[in-house]
Every structure is written in C-alpha cells, then in structure tokens.
Structure 1
C-alpha cells in the first residue's frame, strides 16, 4: 500500500500535479525528499500546514504517516 500526498492551492502549481503516491511509512525527512524542491522549500516555512489522516499536525516535523494515509499540504488561506 502507499501514502497519497495531496498538493492544494498554489502548491499544486509548484508540484505540477494534484497528488503523488509514495511508499509507506513516511516521516518529515521522507516527505521533504518526496516532493519537488519548490514544494519542499514552502513546507520548510511556517505558513504551510500538514494534515495527515484528517488531522492537522501542530508540529509538522512529527509526521508519521502509515499505509493508506492521506497527507494534505495546506497552503495559507487568503480572503476576506
């Protein structure tokens, strides 16, 4: 089985894809290595959050995804 990484909003444009599948398990270092460099650069900043298996992580470096999990990369939201 695999883990699905979803690229949302402007991160989708940077990744040039809606999603990718990677082998499980996946931690923070593995996530950074799995995504395109432009996305990895954004992930290292404070403005992008990560949800794993439906839960937004308070500390994204604690990512511990397992088989079947879906990781959503959440860019900052704008609007009024």
Structure 2
C-alpha cells in the first residue's frame, strides 16, 4: 500500500507557477485597454453605435480582466 502511494507523481500545473505574475500583469493591461476602448465607444456619438462591436469589446475586456484577476490571486498565494 505504501509503495503505491510513494510511486505516485506530484501534481504539476499546466502553467508554471513562476509566470503567474507575468500573466496577471499582461492580462490586466490588455483588459484595461479594452475596458477603456469600451468606455470611449459608449461615450461617443450614439448615432453610430454598433451592438456587435460593443459586445465584442466588452466580452474581450471582461475575459482578460477575469483571467488577470485569477492569476493575480494565484501569484500572491490565494488559491481559488
């Protein structure tokens, strides 16, 4: 029984832990860029609003901000 437990390999994540801070910074920067772009789309003229462009921009921005937040939490030791 003990031999079976010792023969198991330890868990290794798909993404190395050492690049979590870099991934969080990159994802948050891209997310803030798309968030700012979305805000400028909303503030500018309403006559030329494009729903597809607004939804695409908000989806990309929120996805990058979400992943950036997760990697930021993981890089400081809060495992979610």
Indicate the TM-score class for this superposition, using the shorter chain for normalisation.
under 0.3
- Higher-Rg structure is 2
The TM-score, its normalising length taken from structure 2, stands at 0.23
